[in-house]
Structure 1
Amino acid sequence: MARAQQAPTQSLSQGQPTEEVFVISVAAELSGMHAQTLRTYDRLGLVTPARTSGGGRRYSRADVAMLRRIQKLSQEDGVNLAGIKAIIELTRENEDLKGEVAQLRAENEHIRQHSSSRGGELVHVPRSTAVVMWTPNARRGRR
Structure 2
Amino acid sequence: MATARNAGSTFAPDDDTPVFVISVAAQLAGMHAQTLRQYDRLGLVVPSRTRGGGRRYSNRDIARLREVQRLSQEEGVSLAGIRRILELENEVEVLRAQVGEMHEELGRVRAALGMSGRVFAAGRAGDVVAVRAGERPRRRFSDSRALVLYGNRRA
Per the normalisation by structure 1, the TM-score is 0.68
Structure 1 CA distance, aligned partners of 2:48 and 2:11? 15
| 2:65 match: secondary structure | helix
Q: Which amino acid aligns with 1:105?
A: H
Deviation for aligned residue 1:114: 1.2
Structure 2 CA distance, aligned partners of 1:61 and 1:87? 20
User: Contact 1:49 / 1:59 at 8 angstroms: preserved in 2?
Assistant: yes
Structure 1 gap segments, 5+ residues each: 1-15, 123-143
1:4-45 Cα shifts (integer Å, max 9, x gaps):
xxxxxxxxxxxx846351110110000011000000000000
Equivalent residue for 2:105, pick from 107, 114, 138: 107
Structure 2 CA distance, aligned partners of 1:85 and 1:94? 14
Deviation for aligned residue 1:121: 8.7
Per the normalisation by structure 2, the TM-score is 0.63
Q: Which amino acid aligns with 2:102?
A: L
1:40 matches 2:38: yes
2:55 corresponding residue in structure 1: 57
1:38-80 Cα shifts (integer Å, max 9, x gaps):
0000000000001111111011111000000100110011110
Equivalent residue for 1:82, pick from 77, 80, 83: 80
User: Contact 1:115 / 1:121 at 8 angstroms: preserved in 2?
Assistant: no
**RMSD after superposition:** 2.2
Deviation for aligned residue 1:116: 1.1
User: Would you identify which runs of 4 or more consecutive aligned residues in structure 1 move more than 4 Å?
Assistant: none
Deviation for aligned residue 1:113: 1.2
